[in-house]
A and B are shown apart, each in its own frame.
Chain A
Amino acid sequence: MAVLAQRNVSHSRGYRLRKVRNKVLFWVVLALFIVFACFPVYWMFITTFKEVNDLYNLQNNPLFFHLPPTLDQVRYLFEKTNFSIWVENTAEVGFVVVLITVLVCVPAAYVLARSRFPGSGGLSMGIFLTYLVPPTLLFLPLSQLVAGFGLVNSKWSLALVYPTFTIPFCTWLLMGFFKNVPKEITEAARVDGCSRLGAMFRIVLPVSVPGILTIVIFAFTLAMQEYVYALTFVSSSDEKMITLGVVTDLIRGDVFFWGSLMAGALIVSIPVAIVYNLFMDTFVRGITGGALK
């Protein structure tokens, strides 16, 4: 009897030990993943607010501040570079891209999601596959096309080209939203004498406002962070959008203005990171064409 009790105790101690060990292991591995993911952002942050003398002093531990934090680098970004122009350009181009995307996607997604007509399946596949076509395949011919439109070295070339990737992505996202509106509602409206167009505008669109807002956000942020087309089509500083401006204009010859560069990087990243974190599941659903429910 006593022996049995003894064994029981040792068993539970071993069990408890293993449990603690697993728990420690879990947190250590998780922490490693988090450090790997976040360290570059911490590094942007610390670079942004360091005094230049501190930043480039090899004697100092680079991970912490040795002189009080400063806003000099941020100030340099706003006062001595075209940063505010890039922000304006981003807003203007982003607005036009969003406008084109919404005007083109809403009707297309609506019929592809809710009507059956010859070729509708093929068309929706075709639009989906367009998303797979990368900028690196088309930047050369598009640069000629852009020249044909008289948009050489103009930010409006980007407003013209960006919908090529926002349209497929947003059409598929919207199709998901439109499919969720029950068919019976529009059928009832049709019986009551509403036209197809009327049913779309008066019944389905009003309840799909969240979906349309989602594609507005995605179209804007996708345009805002694009790099390859921007690099190809635009070279004057005052025509650049924010991402391209930050990663190209703060390098003069061989000299990198790391403090201001990281300040710009941080300013671009924060809004986009917040939006994508909030909409992560929707975003992944958009990419995978609704494979994830």
Chain B
Amino acid sequence: MVAEFARSRSLGLGGTGARIGHLLDGERIFGYVLVAPAVAYILLLVGYPFAIAVWFTVSNATTARPIAEFTGLTNLLAVLDDDIFRRALANTFIFTITSQALQMVLGTILAFLLLQNFRGRRIARGLIMIPFTIPIAIGAMAWTWMLNPTYSVINWMGVHAGLFTEGPNWLGEEYPAMISIIIVNVWRNLPFSAVVLTAGISAVPQEILEAAHLDGANWWVRWRKVIVPIIAPILYIALLFSLVFTFTDMTVVWLMTRGNPVGETHVIASYAFQTGVVAGSLGRGATMSLFLFPVLLIGAILLLRNLKARTID
């Protein structure tokens, strides 16, 4: 005992420090104590609010009157009956899937370009990363200005290149607004796809590719049968994250169109914000937000399975 005390003393821990150090020395206790603050924070500010969100969906809470009564499925039925919400639900899927598909195709092309050996590659890479590195709210604002009904620089260029005589009111009409939102999502996330794909492709052993080449496989076969199977696990995780972030984002829609014209460009998240925060109907808003949850849950389960499979290897 004395020897132990002396030893911890010599390591510079004071008397109390030594006692705490001793108490913490069991691997189990040490582990639980050190991980406790993180778990507590997450339980208090993620777990508990989630429980409140579930309670909101079955109650008639409003910002003016947060203590509410149980109202059962009233919110759910009202939300399902809301035309704008149904449109928002469809839009969420349209925006997510379309931009993801474009990102994958363009990201693959971009990855192959960036894998070439050319002078100025680092600079090119840095420039291409820019959309992903600036805050999304700022990027959305820059695009809003570029698509301004009167001063749109895109329309100016289009008119002067002879593409159209006037150009659409990008954010004021249904389809142009939807296209604008998809373009901004692609603009923002393309660098991420490209980085992931570049890292994946460059990890494919060169010998395997050469062997396939010698066996007469053309680039498409090499891509489909050699590269994709090897990079699939990475691709899968990156895709999952990218999907979840696009699916749950409201920033682009809120800043660019605010769901207009007449609610045609809302996504789940932006309409939940409109209903829950702007209009103050906590119950309805939370019910809408909770529609994001099944997708998150599926994403989480897929991720877990993938990560487990990898830790076993």
Contact = CB atoms under 8 A, between A and B. Distances in A.
Given A132-B299, A227-B136, A289-B237, A40 B151 contact: no
Given A41-B134, A232-B277, A243-B137, A277 B126 contact: yes
B27 A63 contact: no
B285 interface: yes
Interface string B257-294: 00000000000110011001100001001100110110
A207 interface: no
Contacts of B299: 132
Contacts of B269: 134, 136
A141 B52 contact: yes
A104 B289 contact: no
B34 A134 contact: no
B141 A291 contact: no
Chain B: number of interface residues, binned into ranges: 35 or more
B113 A141 contact: no
Contact of B138 (A37, A143, A247, A284): A247
Contact of A276 (B42, B132, B268): B132
Contact of A111 (B13, B30, B140): B30
Given A136-B289, A197-B20, A33 B113 contact: yes
A134 B297 CA distance: 12
A280 B296 contact: no
Given A228-B251, A261-B141, A137 B290 contact: yes
B130 A137 contact: no
Contacts of A143: 63, 277
Contacts of B304: 125, 129
B13 A195 contact: yes
A55 B153 CA distance: 11
A40 B146 contact: yes
B38 A171 contact: yes
A110 interface: yes
A272 B134 contact: yes
B303 interface: yes
Given A197-B30, A287-B241, A141 B53 contact: yes
Contact of A284 (B12, B190, B195): B195
Chain A: number of interface residues, binned into ranges: 35 or more
A144 interface: yes
Interface in A223-243: 224-225, 227-228, 231-232, 243
Nearest to A200: B34
Contacts of A276: 129, 132-133
Interface stretch (B43-51, B161-169, B215-223): B43-51
Nearest to A127: B38
B282 A140 contact: yes
A55 to B, nearest CB: 8
A163 B27 contact: no
Interface string A21-55: 00000100110011011111101100100000001
Interface string B296-312: 10011001100100110
B249 interface: yes
Nearest to A123: B35
A288 interface: yes
Interface string A167-187: 110010000000000000000
Given A36-B187, A139-B273, A145-B45, A280 B195 contact: yes
A54 to B, nearest CB: 12
Contacts, number: 306
A194 interface: yes
A123 B41 CA distance: 13
A61 B161 CA distance: 13
Contacts of B109: 29
Contact of A163 (B21, B41, B245, B254): B41
Interface stretch (A76-84, A112-120, A209-217): A112-120
Nearest to A244: B137
A134 B273 CA distance: 13
Interface centre among A103, A125, A127, A247 (most CB of B within 10 A): A247
A197 B21 CA distance: 6
A196 B24 contact: yes
A36 B135 CA distance: 17
28 contacts: A30-B113, A33-B113, A34-B128, A38-B130, A43-B142, A107-B34, A112-B35, A123-B35, A137-B290, A137-B292, A137-B293, A138-B46, A140-B276, A141-B50, A143-B63, A145-B52, A161-B45, A163-B41, A167-B38, A193-B7, A198-B8, A228-B251, A228-B273, A256-B145, A258-B151, A269-B134, A289-B307, A291-B237
List 9 A-B pairs, minimum CB-CB distance, nearest first.
A225-B135, A141-B52, A134-B248, A107-B34, A276-B133, A136-B269, A195-B21, A108-B38, A141-B49
Given A137-B292, A291-B238, 17 more contacts: A30-B124, A37-B187, A38-B130, A40-B187, A63-B157, A103-B37, A110-B34, A136-B273, A138-B49, A140-B289, A142-B49, A143-B277, A145-B49, A195-B24, A225-B136, A228-B251, A258-B148
